[in-house]
Amino acid sequence: MKSVVFDLDGTLIHSAPDLQAAANKMLADYGLAPLDMATIEGFIGNGVPKLVERCLRAYGKPQSEEAIDKMRAYYGADPFTLTEPYVGVVDCLEALKAAGIQLAVCTNKPLAPALTILDGLNLTKYFDVVVGGDTYSTHKPDPQPLLGCMDKMGADMANTVYVGDSETDALTAQNADMTFALFSGGYRKTPCEELRHHFLFDDFAALTPYLKG
C-alpha cells in the first residue's frame, strides 16, 4: 500500500466519552435525562446532526437547529478532555509514516473539532490530508468525501486502503469500491461478519504488517 485513509471516531480515537458529555449537556437544557455510554456509542457515526437527532428521538422529541447548535458549542468547547487514541494507534502511525506511506483522515466530524482533537492528541503530524464532514456537500457513506480525500493526496485507488469501524465506514468503502480494513472495536451495532471488508483486526499491531504488505 502507498496510501491509507482512516476514519477518526471509533477507529483512531475513543471519543465517545466527550461526545456523551456534550450530548448530555444538550439534553439537560431540554430537561431530559442523560444517556448512558452504550446508547451514545450506538448513535455515533453519521455526524453531529444525526447524533443529536438520535438522542432527541430516544425521548420522542424532534431534532432542531437549536439543539444541533448547542451540541456543537458544548463539544467544540471541550472536544478531547476524555478522548484518547486506541491502544497501538500511535505505534501503527509511526511505522506507516516511517515506511513512506501517505496517511489521511476522512471523518464525518466537522473539520474544526477534528483538527482540534488531532492537535490536542499530538496526531496531526502523521496526516497529509484531513477531510471533515463539512469539507464537501455530502458526508459518508456517500463516497465523495473519501474520493475527495484521495484526490487531495494524489492517491491511487489500487494502492489505497480505507480503515474504519462502523456500518457507515463499510458502506462508504463499498460505495467507493475501495479495499476496506475493519476495526472490530469502535462504535458499531452490526456483527463484523455481516459487513463488507477485506481485513478484520482487533489490534493495531496486526494492522501495521497488513498495510505495509
User: In whole angstroms, what is the distance from residue 25 CA to residue 69 CA?
Assistant: 12
Residues whose CB is less than 8 angstroms from the CB of residue 9 and which lie 6 or more positions away in sequence, other chains included? 15, 16, 19, 44, 45, 107, 108, 109, 186, 187
For residue 118, which of 174, 151, 80, 66 has the smallest C-alpha distance?
Answer: 80
**Active site annotation includes 9:** no
Residue 34 grid coordinates: 442523560
C-alpha distances in angstroms, 32 versus 55, 64, 73, 193? Answer: 10, 15, 18, 36
Choose the catalytic residue: 7, 9, 165, 169.
7
Residues serving a catalytic function are 7
